[in-house]
């Protein structure tokens, strides 16, 4: 287990992504994955109110609802660190105090709990003053409905400003950042954001840790994969992507492990990264991800992967 920044929250080094719950995994499949994750020692699940509003006939909240039912059925709420988000669901977009309050209350009902362990601003809202957003989050923390707050998809200057305002005003401060970060998408995080996280002691939880499945190794030149995520993964199938897959193949073969395991292990060795976020539709898919938490890549392996993805 690893601490989230300076908080008392202890989390498993692989965060289970809940974006597939109610989308590519129905409730029974989601329960099976959650059971397998918990059995392996996992305790950190990431979801959002907007999951899975993109599915025809869905309105959002489906993932939270499934997670809430699972925790109620298993009686394990106190053992699970629940992360969810606000700001991107239709009708509750943005980060105004009214939106944050309404969204948090709705998430709590769906999750069947009295508190959210880590509550993210899903993306920055330039239309709402940071002071108002942070005060709204702070009110939820003071009421005990949220334990800690965090940021997702924030640029370094805005994140730095938010941290400064919280410190100056005595408000609950962001303790983590969730950026789009993986072997084929590095520039967004590496640099100012990574330096800021390291300097401020923020935990980094990369989403798209496997680049929509591309870094699982299933997507190759000429290969056809039947998956709802195929479009997002296939966009990485360029010269750089092929180069990264070749490096992953070599390291994975040498270690006798899966390509996805190596891709996650690379992330776990990057600055400020506490736990990559990865999802699985089946326990079998999850089984390929779990070994990443104990795989320590050598300096040569890290260099080989970093050079291929540069």
Residue 65 maps to which CATH number?
3.20.20.100
* 142 contact partners, CB below 8 Å, separation of at least 6: 172
Q: What is the pLDDT of residue 218?
A: 86
Residue 1's pLDDT band (cuts 50, 70, 90): confident
Count structural domains, the chain. Answer: 1
Res 30 pLDDT > 70: yes
189 in catalytic set: no
For helices 156-169 and 192-200, angle between their N-to-C axes, nearest 10 degrees: 20
Catalytic residue among 51, 120, 189, 219: 51
Res 44 pLDDT > 80: yes
Percentage of residues in the chain having pLDDT higher than 90: 92
Q: What is the pLDDT of residue 28?
A: 98
Q: What is the pLDDT of residue 143?
A: 98
Q: What is the pLDDT of residue 227?
A: 66
**How far is 25 from 212, CA to CA, in rounded Å?**
15
Domain span including residue 22: 2-178
What confidence tens digit (pLDDT) does each residue in 130-153 have? 999 999 999 999 999 999 999 999
**Dihedral (CA of 143, 146, 150, 154) sign:** negative
251 in a structural domain = no
Mean pLDDT on 73-102? 98
Residue 262's pLDDT band (cuts 50, 70, 90): very high
First to last CA, the chain: 30
* 67 contact partners, CB below 8 Å, separation of at least 6: 18, 21, 30, 34, 45, 47, 82, 111
164 in a structural domain = yes
Q: What is the pTM of this model?
A: 0.95
188 in a structural domain = no
What confidence tens digit (pLDDT) does each residue in 160-174 have? 999 999 999 999 999
**How far is 236 from 226, CA to CA, in rounded Å?**
16
289 in a structural domain = no
Kind of pairing between the strands at 88-89 and 44-46: unpaired
The owner of tokens 């990443």 is: 292
Q: What is the pLDDT of residue 230?
A: 60
Q: What is the pLDDT of residue 220?
A: 81
What confidence tens digit (pLDDT) does each residue in 217-257 have? 988 876 666 666 666 677 888 999 999 999 999 999 999 99
Residue 5's pLDDT band (cuts 50, 70, 90): confident
Residue 191's pLDDT band (cuts 50, 70, 90): very high
């Amino acid at each position: 287990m690893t601490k989230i920044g300076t908080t008392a929250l202890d989390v498993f080094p692989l965060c289970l992504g809940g974006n597939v719950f109610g989308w590519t995994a129905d409730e029974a499949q989601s329960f099976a994955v959650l059971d397998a994750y918990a059995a392996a020692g996992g305790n950190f699940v990431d979801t959002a109110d907007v999951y899975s509003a993109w599915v025809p006939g869905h309105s959002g909240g489906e993932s939270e609802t499934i997670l809430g039912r699972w925790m109620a059925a298993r009686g394990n709420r106190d053992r699970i660190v629940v992360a969810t988000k606000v700001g991107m669901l239709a009708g509750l977009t943005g980060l105004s105090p009214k939106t944050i309050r309404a969204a948090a209350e709705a998430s709590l009902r769906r999750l069947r709990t009295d508190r959210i362990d880590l509550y993210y601003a899903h993306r920055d809202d330039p239309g709402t003053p940071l002071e108002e957003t942070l005060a709204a989050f702070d009110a939820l923390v003071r009421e005990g409905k949220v334990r800690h707050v965090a940021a997702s998809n924030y640029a370094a200057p805005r994140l730095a400003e938010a941290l400064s305002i919280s410190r100056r005003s005595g408000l609950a401060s962001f303790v983590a950042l969730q950026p789009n970060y993986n072997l084929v998408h590095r520039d967004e995080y590496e640099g100012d954001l990574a330096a800021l996280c390291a300097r401020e002691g923020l935990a980094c939880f990369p989403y798209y840790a496997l680049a929509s499945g591309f870094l699982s190794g299933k997507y190759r030149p000429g290969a056809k994969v039947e998956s709802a995520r195929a479009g997002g993964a296939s966009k990485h199938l360029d010269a750089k992507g092929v180069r990264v897959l070749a490096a992953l193949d070599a390291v994975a073969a040498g270690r006798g492990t899966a390509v996805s395991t190596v891709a996650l292990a690379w992330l776990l060795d990057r600055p400020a990264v506490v736990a990559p976020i990865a999802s699985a539709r089946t326990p079998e898919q999850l089984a390929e991800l779990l070994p990443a938490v104990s795989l320590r890549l050598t300096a040569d392996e890290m260099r080989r992967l970093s050079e291929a993805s540069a």
